[in-house]
């Protein structure tokens, strides 16, 4: 069913909005922008709580301008979020056994009964794919991209990335002073499951000696060689920034645990400690590991992320008001535009080994652990 052809300006009276996937600085700014834009056009906005779980369990809350004060500077999401409630693979216990069940028809039924005329879903690649499948079933929807990993192919930048990079860079700056004071190797593990943008940008900005990203498999011997060159030149410490999804040429990603989630059962983590232990063993230099983890997701959004989130929210609301469903809001070459969800749902925006930032880093002596 082609929902986009149904939409006409003036037919939308109530919009639903949800936040899916991991939390991210800027989510509340999008919600605020959608509500304020819609309200000026006389359109109501219903918040759907806890991502798609809210459409499965009928969890709605009225949103209006009186609830939007101070949201710009708040991280997280006032609607709650989840990355485990995919309606096409919803985990249920049946006859004592946990297994995934397709409850997408329940979502469609609840949406129709709710009186909503359109949905704005804010999230990353998982949310985008789910929303696109619901759109194909007839649900009028628009997607707004968010990801601290900056890994969505259709947009040049996702909000949340700038804040995460700023947090990681500040952490590297702070770790540098203690590394220099004690003459240590300091390994800083940042987020980045498949894409190394956070590690690349924060490592470059923080003056790292080594940056390890999923797109460039590393050799521990190459890292050791780089450290020894620095030591012979009189430098008494080294900073190694590693994305959680980085892996060696002879190994696999480090998996912290396996969870009951058919969409994403592997939870990555631990590569920093693996590298730290190997480096200390091979160099006999005292090594410390810092895992930033969810610190990168929380806190006050940066100015850039607040403004980008607001631009995304306003554009999404305008598209919904005009009945332009089936679209993803994106930033391309500095302008906010829309692209069909069908075109955006596949593929990830990864760091190319010949990316300009990678080449700049190499030019000033930063190693990616792949030297022969």
Examine the domain organization and report whether 308 and 290 are in the same domain.
no
Examine the domain organization and report whether 20 and 132 are in the same domain.
yes
Domain membership flag for residue 62: yes
Query: At a CB cut-off of 8 Å and minimum separation 6, what does 50 contact?
Result: 59, 79, 80, 81, 82, 85
> pTM for the complete prediction?
0.90
Cα-based angle 50, 55, 59 (whole degrees, multiple of 5):
60
Are the CB atoms for 103 and 33 separated by under 8 Å? no
Cα–Cα distances (Å) from 122 to 114, 219, 275, in that order, read 19, 38, 35
Which one of the listed residues 85, 149, 209, 305 is annotated catalytic? 149
Q: In tens digits, what is the pLDDT along the chain, a chain of 372 residues?
A: 344 434 455 688 999 999 998 889 999 999 999 999 999 999 999 999 999 999 999 999 999 999 898 899 998 999 998 888 899 998 888 888 888 899 999 999 999 999 999 999 999 989 999 999 999 999 999 999 999 999 998 999 999 999 999 999 999 999 999 999 998 999 999 999 899 999 999 999 999 999 999 999 999 999 999 999 999 999 999 999 999 999 988 876 555 544 455 555 555 558 999 999 999 999 999 999 999 988 998 889 999 999 999 999 999 999 999 999 999 999 999 999 999 998 887 788 999 999 999 999 999 999 999 975
Examine the domain organization and report whether 8 and 66 are in the same domain.
yes
Are the CB atoms for 330 and 177 separated by under 8 Å? no
Both tokens of 100, joined, read 């995934």
Domain membership flag for residue 344: no
Catalytic annotation present for 149: yes
Examine the domain organization and report whether 293 and 309 are in the same domain.
no
Examine the domain organization and report whether 168 and 294 are in the same domain.
yes
Examine the domain organization and report whether 257 and 236 are in the same domain.
yes
Examine the domain organization and report whether 149 and 24 are in the same domain.
yes
Domain membership flag for residue 346: no
Examine the domain organization and report whether 168 and 154 are in the same domain.
no
Residue 70: CATH number of its domain:
3.40.50.450
| 351 closest CA partner among 196, 238, 209 | 196
Domain membership flag for residue 368: no
Query: At a CB cut-off of 8 Å and minimum separation 6, what does 223 contact?
Result: 210, 212, 240, 275, 279, 367, 369
Examine the domain organization and report whether 193 and 268 are in the same domain.
yes
Domain membership flag for residue 338: no
Examine the domain organization and report whether 127 and 34 are in the same domain.
yes
Examine the domain organization and report whether 282 and 241 are in the same domain.
yes
The domain tally of the chain equals: 2
Residues of the domain holding 315: 3-159+301-332
Examine the domain organization and report whether 219 and 83 are in the same domain.
no
Domain membership flag for residue 66: yes
């Amino acid at each position: 069913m082609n929902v986009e052809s149904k939409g006409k300006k003036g037919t939308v009276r109530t919009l639903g909005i949800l936040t899916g996937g991991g939390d991210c600085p800027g989510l509340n700014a999008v919600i605020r922008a959608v509500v304020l834009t819609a309200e000026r056009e006389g359109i109501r906005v219903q918040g759907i709580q806890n991502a798609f779980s809210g459409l499965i369990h009928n969890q709605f809350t009225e949103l209006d301008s009186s609830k939007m004060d101070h949201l710009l500077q708040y991280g997280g999401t006032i609607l709650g979020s989840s990355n485990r409630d995919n309606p096409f693979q919803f985990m249920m216990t049946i006859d004592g056994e946990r297994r995934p069940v397709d409850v997408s028809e329940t979502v469609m039924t609840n949406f129709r009964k709710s009186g909503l005329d359109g949905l704005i879903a804010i999230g990353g690649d998982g949310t985008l794919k789910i929303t696109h499948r619901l759109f194909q079933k007839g649900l009028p929807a628009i997607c707004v991209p968010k990801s601290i990993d900056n890994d969505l192919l259709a947009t040049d930048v996702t909000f949340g990335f700038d804040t995460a990079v700023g947090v990681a860079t500040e952490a590297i700056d702070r770790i540098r002073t203690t590394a220099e004071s004690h003459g240590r190797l300091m390994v800083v593990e940042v987020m980045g499951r498949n894409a190394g943008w956070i590690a690349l940008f924060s490592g470059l900005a923080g003056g790292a000696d080594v940056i390890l990203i999923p797109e460039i498999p590393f050799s521990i011997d190459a890292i050791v060689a780089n450290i020894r060159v620095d030591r012979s030149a009189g430098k008494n410490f080294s900073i190694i920034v590693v994305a959680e999804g980085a892996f060696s040429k002879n190994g696999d990603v480090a998996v912290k645990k396996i969870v009951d989630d058919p969409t994403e059962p592997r939870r990555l983590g631990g590569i920093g400690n693996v590298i730290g232990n190997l480096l200390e063993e091979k160099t006999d230099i005292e090594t410390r590991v810092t895992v930033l983890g969810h610190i990168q997701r929380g806190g006050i959004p940066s100015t850039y992320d607040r403004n980008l989130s607001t631009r995304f929210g306003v554009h999404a609301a305008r598209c919904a008001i005009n009945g332009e469903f089936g679209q993803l809001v994106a930033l391309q070459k500095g302008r906010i535009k829309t692209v069909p969800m069908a075109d955006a749902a596949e593929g990830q925006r990864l760091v190319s080994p010949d990316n300009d930032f990678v080449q700049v880093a190499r030019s000033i002596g930063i190693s990616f652990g792949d030297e022969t």
